[in-house]
């Protein structure tokens, strides 16, 4: 069961950015139409990715199995725990938007989804993961233990060439 509900580590940065592009498209479509069912799709996608990475997420599967392997670049690996944290924030925002849409109407939900869209756009277009930056800050503050992501605190684990350069 633990193997089924696990998050990949490391993560292909380009697959993560592809997923973010899909979130941008769905968020923009919701902002344009106000279709609440799109929020259900967003919530499911984030919940599936938090629970098991791309395994149960149609968007995740599309990114990992179809789009990222066809990109003309080598995979760029990045630690999984910050990406899972970012997906958790997306789940929080999309769930909040769904609750707001069902209780107060679409305007309140659109404000929350607009913030989610900005974060997803930064990730997809520029590779700036706000959730990952928040994760790093929480690690520096000691609120997330270093054991959660050893690679995040020690770049020589991710980039062995740094360890050899430091030793010289």
| Cα–Cα dist 31/110, whole Å | 6
The CA angle 37-43-47, to the nearest 5 degrees, is: 150
Of residues 64, 31, 50, the one with CA closest to residue 131? 50
What does the pLDDT read at residue 147? 85
In the chain, domain spans: 11-129
Integer angstrom CA distances of residue 153 from 10, 37, 125, 156: 14, 40, 25, 9
Q: Which two tokens stand for residue 148?
A: 């959660």
pTM of the predicted model over 0.95: no
Does residue 164 carry a pLDDT above 60?
A: no
Residue 88, Cβ density class (10 Å: 0-12 exposed, 13-18 middle, ≥19 buried): middle
- Residue 85: other Cβ atoms inside 10 A: 23
Mean pLDDT of 32-54: 96
């Amino acid at each position: 069961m633990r193997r089924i509900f696990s998050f990949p580590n490391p993560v292909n940065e380009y697959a993560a950015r592809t997923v973010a592009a899909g979130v941008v498209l769905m968020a923009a479509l919701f902002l344009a139409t106000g279709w609440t069912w799109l929020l259900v799709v967003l919530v499911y996608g984030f919940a599936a990715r938090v629970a098991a990475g791309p395994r149960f997420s149609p968007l995740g599967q599309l990114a990992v199995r179809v789009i990222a392997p066809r990109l003309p670049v080598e995979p760029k690996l990045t630690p999984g725990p910050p990406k899972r944290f970012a997906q958790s924030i997306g789940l929080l925002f999309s769930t909040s938007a769904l609750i707001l849409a069902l209780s107060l109407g679409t305007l309140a939900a659109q404000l929350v989804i607009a913030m989610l869209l900005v974060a997803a756009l930064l990730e997809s277009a520029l590779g700036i993961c706000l959730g990952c930056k928040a994760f790093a800050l929480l690690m520096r503050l000691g609120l997330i233990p270093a054991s959660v992501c050893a690679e995040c605190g020690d770049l020589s684990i991710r980039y062995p060439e740094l360890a050899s350069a430091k030793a010289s």
